[in-house]
Structure 1
Amino acid sequence: MGAPIQNPVTVYNFLNYLKFEKRYAENTILAYEEDLQQFFGYLQQQFNLQQPALGEIAAAFIRSWLASLKENRNSARTINRKISTLKSFFKYHLRTGQLEQSPMTTIISPKMPKRLPVYVEQKDTDTLFRYVEFPDTWSGKTDRLILSIFYNTGMRLSELINLKESQVNASANTIKVLGKGNKERVIPVSAVLIKEIAGYMAQKSQVLEAPDKIYLLVNEKGRKLYRKYVYQAVNKYLSAVTTIDKKSPHVLRHTFATHLTNNGADLNAVKELLGHSSLAATQIYTHNTIEKLKDIYKKAHPKA
């Protein structure tokens, strides 16, 4: 699983737990591994701890590492992610009985600067789907459907790439999504999107030679899409309608959620649609709504 690590048994067992029990995505596991490798490397270099027992790892060592990260100009977001990795690591070993007390209990995470999610204005999404011309080619049909699904469901990039034909329920107008940790959620969609998906599926066999019939979205060779293809398609068409800096699939996820909250959707419902595990992750979209209301107030109220 990457380069050799300084504390192989404890780290290896933890990574296997993430992989086989928690069923985390490969990229997530690699991020955990990288954080732990960096941490144990620091312990070895700074404190000459070659193979430390878990009980030897004091909070002071952790604070020293975090201070070095700050000195090296790591952002609060990056440092918080590394703290989260260590918390999960020690919590796992508490649960398995390898550790009596976590050294993380006195570690305080740095405050995060508030950063509102970037999203596409509703007038721009209207322009995208009403007036932007998509080529009458298989790539053009695929690109339009990619954008339609992202905007209508708010699903993640990995969820879209792995979306199977069998997950689309045309009779119920729903799409079943397999999210983080293999959690399933059902997203209601419009009859218009279902019709678009049905047309795409029907044309697969007519237009392409031996296309993949398991995964919904395929390229002109009939093969399952890859991440870079989707990124490029989203960037290309969003560039035609908006000047925002970020033009990624995740921006369309933010757009889906922000447009729902701006139009009065219940926050708990948005949480379920996005597949968030806690309401705190969804509440960032209320800030966008408040900013929108402030803007309307300033423009419309006589005393503003």
Structure 2
Amino acid sequence: MQHVEEFKPAENNESQYPFLKGFLDYVTLERHFSRHTREAYRTDICQFYTFIRYQHTLADKDPIDPASISVLDVRLFMGELLEKGLQPKSIARKLAAVKSFYNYLLETGAVKVSVPSQVITPRFSKPVPGFLSERETEKLFDELLSLPAPGEALGADRAGDGGFTHARDRALLEVLYGCGLRISEVIGLQYENVNLQDSLLRVSGKGGKQRIVPLGGPARTALRNYFEVRRNFFRMKNEESPDASYVFVTKKGRRIYPVLVQRVTRKYLSAVTEIKYKNPHVLRHSFATHMLNSGADLKSVSEMLGHTNLTTTEIYTHVTFGRIKEVYLKAHPKA
């Protein structure tokens, strides 16, 4: 067996890997994959080919014929990854990248058969995502992040900044939970994407795919409050926000960034829940779980989350079984 270091590419030299550049351009331009996904595909395919180079005892500068691999090669590659401690989920992802590459080669006529597609993807158990209970959600928004009481000044100053931070954080968490957005989606949200009158958001998801998401009452109210506080905040500073087109900005007017969103989320979730991971995705998980618990159909929830297929959304059905059983025991006469 080869060492992982021996077939992990040091330089991802595309000239040694026929058709790889064309494939990467294809997934970027035609399938609109993100730069992160493109680089992940590049690494996985180069890693596979470097393993094949050792397996077939080819010199470093010898070209690899994509049609020369066998099912056994693919299985040995998977076995090597497993032996080196990679989780089945990671192995499945690498195999999916290699399969996609060979499907591209098949469509372009570079190979006559996609050998990796003949290999069954290993099964792996998906972890049930962490989420807030409905009581914890109520505590978060109705107690910790409560809006100004009647007669209280809009955006009451709780951080010495005219209430800007509190109003922004409330709106940020309301949108994450109320609309089920990913962290990248909320960071990239712009004013032109927000329709308060019709209670809708236009969201740019993975691969630049656009979707329309309903904006609930609490999120709409929190955004209105934040927008007003934000206007007053920058007016008093006599400054304009450098990133004025973005919905969520820092006190310096710059677009918020991932670490800030994670910090805000961790701060407030730590006060309401004991779950291990307290990140922005918990609110997205909570959105999906609470929707399904309340009777929403899987397809609608999948569309709101921006999933490309129902299988991705089905993981949330596992966490609702306890709720279903609870309702059954209470309602069924012979339970």
Distance 1:236 1:70 in 2: 37
Distance 1:220 1:25 in 2: 29
Structure 1 position 5 matched with structure 2 position 13: yes
Q: Tell me which amino acid in the other structure corresponds to 2:12.
A: P
On the 8 A contact 2:17/2:49 being kept in 1, the answer is no
Equivalent of 1:129, from 141, 144, 157? 141
Q: Taking structure 1 as reference, are residues 114 and 300 closer, same or farther at Cα in structure 2, changes over 3 Å only?
A: farther
Q: More displaced, 132-141 or 254-263?
A: 132-141
Q: Taking structure 1 as reference, are residues 271 and 250 closer, same or farther at Cα in structure 2, changes over 3 Å only?
A: same
Distance 1:185 1:87 in 2: 28
What is the Cα deviation at residue 295 of structure 1? Answer: 4.7
Secondary structure (helix, strand or coil) at the match of 1:175 reads strand
Pick the structure with greater CA Rg.
Answer: 2
Structure 1 position 177 matched with structure 2 position 203: yes
Q: Which residue does 2:132 correspond to in 1?
A: 120
Q: More displaced, 90-99 or 45-54?
A: 45-54
- How many residues were matched structurally? 303
Alignment of 1:216-227 (within 5 A): 216-227=247-258
Q: Which residue does 1:281 correspond to in 2?
A: 312
Equivalent of 1:155, from 169, 181, 187? 181
Distance 2:76 2:167 in 1: 54
Q: More displaced, 270-279 or 45-54?
A: 45-54
Secondary structure (helix, strand or coil) at the match of 2:19 reads helix
Q: Tell me which amino acid in the other structure corresponds to 1:175.
A: L
Q: Taking structure 1 as reference, are residues 282 and 86 closer, same or farther at Cα in structure 2, changes over 3 Å only?
A: same
1:85-110 residue CA offsets vs partner (Å, 9 max, x unmatched): 11111111112222211012320111
Secondary structure (helix, strand or coil) at the match of 1:131 reads helix
Distance 2:27 2:296 in 1: 34
Q: TM-score, normalised by structure 2?
A: 0.84
Distance 1:161 1:8 in 2: 36
Distance 2:304 2:95 in 1: 28
Q: Tell me which amino acid in the other structure corresponds to 2:141.
A: F
Q: Which residue does 1:42 correspond to in 2?
A: 51
Structure 1 position 250 matched with structure 2 position 281: yes
Structure 1 position 190 matched with structure 2 position 216: yes
Please give the root-mean-square deviation of Cα atoms over the aligned residues, in Å: 2.1
Equivalent of 2:86, from 74, 77, 89? 74
Equivalent of 1:52, from 55, 60, 64? 64
Q: TM-score, normalised by structure 1?
A: 0.92
Q: More displaced, 268-277 or 291-300?
A: 291-300
Q: Which residue does 1:167 correspond to in 2?
A: 193
Distance 1:185 1:252 in 2: 19
What is the Cα deviation at residue 245 of structure 1? Answer: 0.6
What is the Cα deviation at residue 181 of structure 1? Answer: 2.3
Distance 2:11 2:177 in 1: 39
Equivalent of 2:296, from 248, 265, 274? 265
Secondary structure (helix, strand or coil) at the match of 1:187 reads strand
Q: Tell me which amino acid in the other structure corresponds to 1:13.
A: G
Distance 1:9 1:55 in 2: 11
Secondary structure (helix, strand or coil) at the match of 1:186 reads strand
User: Structure 1 vs Structure 2: percent identity of aligned residues?
Assistant: 35
What is the Cα deviation at residue 48 of structure 1? Answer: 2.3
What is the Cα deviation at residue 172 of structure 1? Answer: 0.7
Distance 1:228 1:47 in 2: 45
1:18-52 residue CA offsets vs partner (Å, 9 max, x unmatched): 22222212221121122112112212233224421
What is the Cα deviation at residue 300 of structure 1? Answer: 8.6
**Gap runs ≥5 in structure 2:** 1-9, 147-157
Secondary structure (helix, strand or coil) at the match of 2:23 reads helix
Q: Taking structure 1 as reference, are residues 184 and 133 closer, same or farther at Cα in structure 2, changes over 3 Å only?
A: closer
Distance 2:136 2:186 in 1: 22
What is the Cα deviation at residue 303 of structure 1? Answer: 8.0
What is the Cα deviation at residue 133 of structure 1? Answer: 4.8
Q: Which residue does 2:4 correspond to in 1?
A: none
Q: Taking structure 1 as reference, are residues 139 and 3 closer, same or farther at Cα in structure 2, changes over 3 Å only?
A: farther
Distance 2:300 2:284 in 1: 15
Q: Tell me which amino acid in the other structure corresponds to 1:291.
A: G
Distance 1:243 1:62 in 2: 42
On the 8 A contact 2:89/2:124 being kept in 1, the answer is yes
What is the Cα deviation at residue 5 of structure 1? Answer: 2.9
